[in-house]
Structure 1
Amino acid sequence: MPTQEAAVGIVQSPITIGEALEATVQSAGAKPVDQSDAAAIQAAEARATGSDTIIPGGIAATAQSAAVFNAEVKREENKIKLGDVLKGATAKLPAEKVATKQDAEAVGNAEWRNNLNQAPHPGVLAASISQLLSSTRT
Structure 2
Amino acid sequence: MSQEQPERPQAEKDPIKYGDVFVVSGELASQPIAPKDAALMQAKENQTLGQAQKGGPASIMQSAATVNVREGEVGREEFSDVAREQGVSVFEGKVDGQRVITESVGRDVVGQFVVPEIPMETPGTALERDAITIGEALEATGVAGACDKPVDESDAAAIQAAEMRATGKNETESGGLGARAQSAATHNTRTVPQSNKTTLSDVLTDARVKLQADKVVTREDAEGVIGAELRNKLDMKTTPGGVAASMAAAATLNQNSQVS
Assess same fold via TM > 0.5. Answer: yes
Identity of aligned residues (%): 51
User: The residue matched to 1:25 in structure 2 has which SS?
Assistant: helix
- Please give the alpha-carbon distance, in whole angstroms, between the structure 1 residues aligned to 2:235 and 2:248: 21
Q: Which runs of 4+ in 1 moved over 2 A?
A: 132-136
2:200 aligns with one of 82, 92, 98: 82
- Please give the alpha-carbon distance, in whole angstroms, between the structure 1 residues aligned to 2:158 and 2:233: 10
- Please give the alpha-carbon distance, in whole angstroms, between the structure 2 residues aligned to 1:24 and 1:12: 21
**Unpaired runs of at least 5, structure 1:** 1-10
Amino acid paired to 2:155 = D
Q: Where in structure 2 are the equivalents of 1:1-138 lying within 5 Å?
A: 13-27=130-144, 28-136=146-254, 137=256, 138=260
Give the deviation of 1:74 after TM superposition: 1.1
- Please give the alpha-carbon distance, in whole angstroms, between the structure 2 residues aligned to 1:26 and 1:66: 17
Cα-to-partner distance string for 1:67-103 (whole Å, 9 max, x where unaligned): 0010111111110000110111111111111110110
User: The residue matched to 1:126 in structure 2 has which SS?
Assistant: helix
- Please give the alpha-carbon distance, in whole angstroms, between the structure 2 residues aligned to 1:26 and 1:53: 26
TM-score (norm 1): 0.87
- Please give the alpha-carbon distance, in whole angstroms, between the structure 2 residues aligned to 1:121 and 1:32: 12
1:5 alignment counterpart: none
Choose between structure 1 and 2 for higher RCO, CA contacts under 8 A separated by at least 6 residues: 1
Larger-Rg structure: 2
- Please give the alpha-carbon distance, in whole angstroms, between the structure 1 residues aligned to 2:252 and 2:176: 27
RMSD of aligned residue pairs (Cα, Å) = 1.4
Q: Return 34-43 or 17-26, whichever deviates more.
A: 17-26
Give the deviation of 1:132 after TM superposition: 2.5
- Please give the alpha-carbon distance, in whole angstroms, between the structure 1 residues aligned to 2:192 and 2:235: 19
- Size of the aligned set, in residue pairs, is 128
- Please give the alpha-carbon distance, in whole angstroms, between the structure 1 residues aligned to 2:213 and 2:184: 22
TM-score (norm 2): 0.47
